[in-house]
Amino acid sequence: MPVRLLLTVLAATQGSPRTGTVMGTVTGAGDGVHQAVVYLVAAGPDSTQRVRDTVLVDQSDLTFRPGLIIGQPGLSVEFRNSDPSLHNVFGFIRNGPGFNLGTFPGGESRTRAFDDLGGHVILCHIHPEMLAYVLILPTPYYSSTQSDGRYRIDGVSPGRYTLRVWNARGEVVHGTVQVATGGVYRRDPEAAARRPRG
């Protein structure tokens, strides 16, 4: 698939003078630009660090809220049932292990730590319309897009990075960017449209 990447070095007007900023707009057909995630992976040896953070995903009105969680290996997600009905939480990742947290009533929670890199699909056996994603990345430098595809990653340490774009279709667009101290870089990658569910 052809990939258009535009790189423009802009005058540094914001952010820390010791770090850089990468920003731009993800383009593509359909809704593939909404809730896409742009992230930077440093060149060289793998420096992925484990985290001990816990985030909450609320199951309310038959919806996972929020529908997209982004973090690094070790991230724990608490799935809370705030509905009066029973819910189930199960998930899978391509070429990786699946899990099932079972069925539980309103007012209860189940928690799972995520270690495998990539996009984990989260579903409910009882309500098949419920869908969420937990995206585990090898970097702290990421941003989800706004509804128009815009993103901004601040506080990037100087160095060479691979720029990647993830969306619900699971496709990734690659490019590179060299970040210098105080630099602001514009990158406008084109991502594939999301494949309709079902």
Residue 187: count of CB within 10 angstroms of its CB: 22
Query: Scanning the structure block, which residue is given the tokens 């009533």?
Result: 105
Please give the pLDDT value at position 190: 75
Residue 102 pLDDT greater than 50, yes or no: yes
Structure tokens, 129: 């319309």
pLDDT band at 4 (very low <50, low <70, confident <90, very high): very low
Mean pLDDT of the residues in the chain: 85
| Confidence band for 17, pLDDT divided at 50, 70 and 90 | low
For 31-43, the pLDDT digits (tens) are: 557 779 999 999 8
Residue 106 contacts residue 83 (beta carbons within 8 Å): yes
Dihedral angle over CA of 136, 131, 53, 103, nearest 10: -120
pLDDT at residue 193, as a whole number: 57
All domains of the chain, ordered by start, with CATH? Answer: 7-46+141-187 (2.60.40.1120), 54-136 (2.60.40.420)
Buried b (16+ CB within 10 A) or exposed e, 125-135: eebeebebbbb
Residues in the chain: 198
> pTM to 2 decimals?
0.84
Judge whether residue 112 has pLDDT over 90. yes
Residue with tokens 């309500």: 127
DSSP 27: B
pLDDT digits (tens, 9 = 90+) for 149-177: 899 999 999 999 999 999 887 767 778 99
Measuring CA to CA, which residue among 69, 68, 71, 70 is closest to residue 49? 71
Read off the pLDDT of each residue in 166-193 and give the average, rounded to a whole number: 83
Q: Where residue 94 falls among pLDDT bands split at 50, 70, 90?
A: confident
**Band of residue 11 on the pLDDT scale cut at 50, 70, 90:** very low
